[in-house]
Structure 1
Amino acid sequence: MARIWILLLLAVATVSACGNESNPFDEDEVVDQTPGDGDDDGGDDGSPIDSDRTLPPGTSSPAPDASIFRREGQNDDGGGYVSSISYDSGLDTFTVDGLAFDGGNAYTRVELSGAGGAGSVGGYAVYEAPIEYQDAETGTPINQLLHRAIYGVSTSGQTEFAIVRSGGYVPYGFGGFVYQRNGSVTLPATGQATYSGKYAGLRVFDGTSGLEYTDGDMTIDIDFEDFNAPDGVKAEVTNRNVYDIDGNDITDDILAAMDGTPTELPTLHFVVQPGVADTNGEITGSVSSFTYEDGVASEYEEGTYYAVLSDGADNDLDAEEIVGVIVMTSDDPRIDGRTVQETGGFILYR
């Protein structure tokens, strides 16, 4: 069956502890809203990003003393565009323009039964589009497609991410991610640092429709003396869980279907490889996880991570926090021929 993808306008809400309204994406940082191809073009103006490796579209000339904005480029798996942001702090809703069959475009907080509390997964806010929309002339109800969004903002407000995916399609469906630094970073020239926090994301499928949530604990360690070296950055996501669309924990169902019947989902690691970091505080590379049976390792998941360092709000602490997104795929052990695309975000602190 041929896949037909349409453009996606993705938008997210800025939710902070003080309830201020703000636009999480500084349009001054984006030179052109024309998308890259998502593979070898990181700049929105059609030119490569001023960096030594491939990064998502967004800020075309990043610098350590400036804000940096990144978004998922258009790709064959349904990645979309970022634009048209509108947030209502009084109603705790945000608007997503240009995404078909998502009601009146106003996403509201989700009530979940067990995935980390009402309206959140892993401590990050979860939103949903309406499931029904009325014909303006006749009042006849029209069923809408399944859409969910996760939004995270740091305690300082200096880093944030958003992920939108649709579970209403047999392929992965339309979606996108955004992450950004709202300010600058000062990279230490010596020493090491460890960062920790929560990871949370959305899971969609190629082979069936549907959507699941996921979360876990995450750490990143950085050797600033060898930041650009192949082994200068290492990370892992542990204590991983998966929840169904209502927030019920279904991790044990996945474990029971896996070869060797492990007792927990595999730990996700950043792959040790050269050229993952630059002087702007941006980091990107590969991720993978493995299962083991009779001492033999088999790759379970593979994908890519994207992240950026920020000084945060502590004037006495350089490179205080990290925000980023991971996109990876795996075979679903529960259903033959079905693959999972997991897109997760994280905000970590020193």
Structure 2
Amino acid sequence: MNRFFVATAAVLVLAGCGGGSNPFADPGTPPDPDTVTPASAIKRSEPTSTETAYIGNGYASNIRYNAKKDTFTVDNLAFDGDNEYSRGTKVRSLSGYNVYEADQQFTDPQNGKPVNQFTHRAIYGVSKGGTGRTEFAIVRTGAYADYGFGGFVYQRNEGVTLPNSGQAIYNGVMAGLRDFNGAGGLEYSSADIEIAIDFNDFNASTGGRGDAVSGTISNRKIYDINGKDITSTVLRRIETAEGISLRSYPVATFTVGPGVMDKNGEMLGQVQSFYTDSSGTLRPFEQGKYYAIVSGDKADQIVGVVVLENSVDPVADTVRDTSGFIVYRD
């Protein structure tokens, strides 16, 4: 398969083709659904895709975090140095989650000449206190003219006891990476997230669970690769392209309906945001999905990833935001 590499200096599109702890074992094969139970640890990863704009999804594998060295190892991504990512220089953390970056150059061992590497960034989140009850990692690159190769993984390392009645509310923050289909480059994002679960309704119709899940993603910010807040710049270019006025980056919400959570505490659902055009009509801004797992004997944590796309921002054909979160039922 071919990808298209963007030479950073000239923006020229070219045809292209460790030790320590390991909280993320190779995520390539999720647990067999028949063997997963509420008591199971669960690990999930971004699926691979054969769609043209999405080829490269799910390629990141064997993701390892070395706590002693504070480094990240990621396999199966081309031109990311020696696969070991160091703590970020310009951006070390975002929303309390750690940021890592691949080496910018790799030395040819035969002639000592430097080989320029692609821009890769990784975000790693672990539950409060570094307990490792829940974790996520996201890896993206801005070196391709479309989305490029990368991936995400999220997991719980314990079981869950889901209530059979009542409701619960969870709060936390998100950190993400924005990449582009139709342009090179990489940006960061942050947001607040609130998730609520109704354990009473909807009623289960297939012998499983019918729990309803709602969520709100707000206070959204965008940063360039050096950590500068560029939210207002992004908003202005969207306003100019669409002839609209945006006071802030639109709030995204979960679609509420039955069948989004199973008996093991895994959730998969739709997310969307909207804007009002010049005629006062409400129009879609972003669409995407959330992937999450509830954890704990009191169902007190949720770990997950949200992937949202929009074609409103004129910077590219489509813009993708991949954000991870851990929220708590304090």
Relative to the length of structure 2, the TM-score reads 0.85
Whether 1:263 and 2:242 are equivalent positions in the alignment is: no
Q: Which amino acid aligns with 1:239?
A: N
8 Å CA contact 1:87–1:95 kept in 2: the answer is: yes
- Displacement of 1:274: 2.4
Give the distance between the partners of 1:160 and 1:322, measured in 2 at CA. 10
Instruction: Show the counterpart of 1:153.
Output: 126
Give the distance between the partners of 1:269 and 1:197, measured in 2 at CA. 15
Identity %: 48
Instruction: Show the counterpart of 1:214.
Output: 189
8 Å CA contact 1:58–1:71 kept in 2: the answer is: no
Instruction: Show the counterpart of 1:291.
Output: 275
Whether 1:338 and 2:313 are equivalent positions in the alignment is: no
Q: Which amino acid aligns with 1:101?
A: F
What CA deviation, in whole Å up to 9, does each residue of 1:61-87 have, x standing for no partner?
321011111011111312124543443
Give the distance between the partners of 2:76 and 2:170, measured in 1 at CA. 36
- Displacement of 1:346: 0.5
8 Å CA contact 2:60–2:77 kept in 1: the answer is: no
- Displacement of 1:332: 4.8
Q: CA RMSD in A?
A: 2.2
- Displacement of 1:111: 2.4
Whether 1:67 and 2:66 are equivalent positions in the alignment is: no
Q: Paired residue for 1:108, among 86, 92, 96?
A: 86
Whether 1:303 and 2:283 are equivalent positions in the alignment is: no
- Displacement of 1:94: 1.7
Secondary structure at 1:300 match in 2: strand
Instruction: Show the counterpart of 2:65.
Output: 87
Query: Unmatched 5+ residue regions in structure 2?
Result: 5-17, 205-209
Give the distance between the partners of 2:64 and 2:45, measured in 1 at CA. 17
8 Å CA contact 2:73–2:85 kept in 1: the answer is: yes
Instruction: Show the counterpart of 1:128.
Output: 101
8 Å CA contact 1:228–1:277 kept in 2: the answer is: no
Secondary structure at 1:79 match in 2: coil
Stretch of structure 1 that moved more, 121-130 or 290-299 = 290-299
Q: Which amino acid aligns with 2:82?
A: G
Give the distance between the partners of 1:161 and 1:272, measured in 2 at CA. 24
- Displacement of 1:108: 0.5
Query: Unmatched 5+ residue regions in structure 1?
Result: 6-12, 15-20, 34-43, 45-56, 113-117
Secondary structure at 1:329 match in 2: strand
Instruction: Show the counterpart of 2:263.
Output: 279
Counterparts in 2 of 1:83 and 1:175: CA distance versus 1, 3 Å: closer
Q: Paired residue for 1:254, among 203, 228, 234?
A: 234
8 Å CA contact 1:188–1:224 kept in 2: the answer is: yes
Relative to the length of structure 1, the TM-score reads 0.80
Give the distance between the partners of 1:328 and 1:178, measured in 2 at CA. 16
Give the distance between the partners of 1:301 and 1:3, measured in 2 at CA. 28
Give the distance between the partners of 2:258 and 2:134, measured in 1 at CA. 25
Instruction: Report matched runs for 1:193-212 at 5 Å.
Output: 193-212=168-187
Counterparts in 2 of 1:305 and 1:150: CA distance versus 1, 3 Å: same
Stretch of structure 1 that moved more, 299-308 or 220-229 = 220-229
Counterparts in 2 of 1:190 and 1:289: CA distance versus 1, 3 Å: same
> Normalized per residue, which structure has more strand?
2
Counterparts in 2 of 1:135 and 1:252: CA distance versus 1, 3 Å: same
Give the distance between the partners of 1:231 and 1:268, measured in 2 at CA. 20
Give the distance between the partners of 1:178 and 1:228, measured in 2 at CA. 30
8 Å CA contact 1:329–1:341 kept in 2: the answer is: yes
Secondary structure at 2:246 match in 1: coil
8 Å CA contact 1:268–1:288 kept in 2: the answer is: yes
Secondary structure at 2:89 match in 1: coil
Q: Which amino acid aligns with 1:22?
A: S
8 Å CA contact 1:254–1:334 kept in 2: the answer is: no
8 Å CA contact 1:227–1:233 kept in 2: the answer is: no
Secondary structure at 1:252 match in 2: helix
Counterparts in 2 of 1:82 and 1:251: CA distance versus 1, 3 Å: closer
Q: Which amino acid aligns with 1:304?
A: K
8 Å CA contact 1:221–1:235 kept in 2: the answer is: yes
Q: How many residues are aligned here? A: 299
Secondary structure at 2:200 match in 1: helix
Give the distance between the partners of 2:253 and 2:203, measured in 1 at CA. 18
Whether 1:177 and 2:152 are equivalent positions in the alignment is: yes
